[in-house]
Amino acid sequence: MDINNTYMVKINKKKFFVYDGTCDGRPTKWLTQSTWNGKISLYMKNGEIKYQDGKGKSMLIFEKGEKEYDMY
Which sequence spans correspond to the domains of the chain? 2-71
What is the strand order of the sheet 14-23 is part of? 2-11, 14-23, 26-32, 58-63, 48-53, 40-45
pTM: 0.87
Q: How far is CA 40 from each of CA 4, 65, 66, rounded to the nearest angstrom?
A: 18, 22, 20
Number of Cβ atoms within 10 Å of the Cβ of 19? 22
Per-residue pLDDT of the chain in tens (72 residues, 90 and over written 9): 999 999 999 999 999 999 999 999 999 999 999 899 989 999 999 999 999 999 999 999 999 999 999 999
Considering all CA atoms of the chain, what is the largest pairwise distance in Å, rounded to the nearest integer? 33
**Per-residue pLDDT, 65:** 97
